[in-house]
Chain A
Amino acid sequence: MTKQDLKPPLFAVRFLTWLIAPHLLESILGDMQETFDQNAKRLGKRKAQWMYWSEMPGYIKPEFIRRKQNTYQSSPIISHYMIRNYFKIAIRNFRNNKAYTLINVIGLTLGLACCVLVFFTVRYELSFDAHHKDIGQVYRLLRYTKERGDKGLATGIPLPVLDALKNDFPALKNQIACTYALKGTLVTVEQEGNKKKFDEDYYAIAFVGPEYFRLLNYEWIKGSPEASLTNPGSVVLSEKQAERYFGKADPMGKTIRINNQKDFVVSGLIADPPATTNFPFTTLISFSSLKDYGAYTNWDDWASSYGGGQMYVKLPQSMNQADFEKQLTGFNKKYYDAKAAAETSFILQAVNDIHFDNRTSNYAGRTISKGMIWTMVLVGSFILIAACVNFVNLATAQAIRRSREVGVRKVLGSTRFQLLRQYFSETAFITVLSVLLALIASQLALPYVASVLNIPAQGVMFISDPVVLAFMFALVVITTILAGFYPAMVLSGFQPILALKGKVKTGGSGQAHLRRSLIVLQFTISQVVLIGTVIAYNQMQYFQTMDLGFEKDEIVNITIPESDFAKMESLKSRLASETGIRSMSQSQFTPMSQSNWQTGFKYENDTEFLNFEIVMRPADTAYVHTYGMEMAAGRMYLPSDSIREYVVNEAFVKAMGMKRPQEIIGKRMAIGGSDYKFPIVGVIKNFNTYSLHREIIPCVMTTLKGNYSKMGIKLSAHSDKNLLSRIEKVWSSVYPDYLFKYTFYDETLNSYYSKEEKLFSLFRILAGIAVFIGCLGLYGVVAFMVESRTKEMGIRKAIGATAFNIFGLFSIDFVKLVVIALVIASPVAWYGMSQWLQDFTYRISISWWMFAVTGIVVIFIALITISFQSVKAALMNPVKALRSE
Chain B
Amino acid sequence: MKRTYLGEFEEIVLLTVAVNEGQAYGVVLMNEITEQTGRDVRLNQVHSALQRLEDKGMVKSTLGEPTAERGGRRKRLFTVTAYGHRTLQEIQEVRVSFWSRLVNPFKLIVH
Residues of A at the B interface (CB closer than 8 Å) are 24, 26-35, 37-38, 55, 58-59, 61, 63-64
Contacts and interface: CB of A to CB of B under 8 A. Distances in A.
B27 A27 contact: no
B48 A29 contact: no
Contacts of B76: 26-27, 30-31
B44 A34 contact: no
A58 B26 CA distance: 14
A95 B33 CA distance: 68
Contact of B26 (A31, A61, A63, A64): A31
B52 A34 contact: no
26 contacts: A26-B76, A27-B25, A27-B26, A27-B76, A28-B26, A28-B47, A29-B73, A30-B70, A30-B71, A30-B74, A31-B25, A33-B71, A33-B73, A34-B70, A38-B27, A55-B43, A55-B44, A58-B42, A58-B43, A58-B44, A58-B48, A59-B47, A63-B51, A63-B52, A64-B47, A64-B48
A71 to B, nearest CB: 13
A299 to B, nearest CB: 92
Contacts of A31: 25-27, 43, 47, 70, 75-76
Interface in B14-73: 25-27, 30, 42-45, 47-48, 51-52, 55, 61, 63, 69-71, 73
Given A59-B44, A64-B47, A27 B63 contact: yes
A26 B61 CA distance: 13
A58 B47 CA distance: 10
A27 B48 contact: no
Interface residues of B, number: 22
Contacts of A58: 42-45, 48
A24 B52 CA distance: 13
Nearest to B30: A35
Residue of B52, B63, B71, B76 most packed against chain A (CB within 10 A): B71
Chain B residues touching A, majority SS: helix
Nearest to B77: A27
Nearest to B51: A63
Contacts of A29: 71, 73
B59 to A, nearest CB: 13
Given A27-B76, A55-B42, 12 more contacts: A26-B63, A26-B73, A28-B47, A31-B25, A32-B43, A33-B70, A34-B70, A35-B30, A58-B44, A59-B47, A63-B52, A64-B51
A29 B73 CA distance: 8
B53 to A, nearest CB: 11
Contacts of B74: 26-27, 30
A32 B42 CA distance: 10
Contacts of B69: 34, 37
Nearest to B25: A31
A818 B59 CA distance: 71
Given A27-B75, A31-B26, A31-B27, A61 B43 contact: no
Residue of A27, A37, A38, A55 most packed against chain B (CB within 10 A): A27
A32 B48 CA distance: 13
Interface in B55-111: 55, 61, 63, 69-71, 73-76
B103 to A, nearest CB: 43
Contacts of B73: 26-27, 29-30, 33
Nearest to A7: B71
Contacts of A64: 47-48, 51
Nearest to A26: B73
Nearest to B64: A27
A509 B35 CA distance: 67
Nearest to A58: B44
Contacts of B26: 27-28, 31, 34
Contacts of A28: 26, 47
A33 B63 CA distance: 16
Contacts of A24: 47, 51
B48 A63 contact: yes
Contacts of A59: 44, 47
Given A27-B73, A58-B44, A61-B48, A35 B55 contact: no
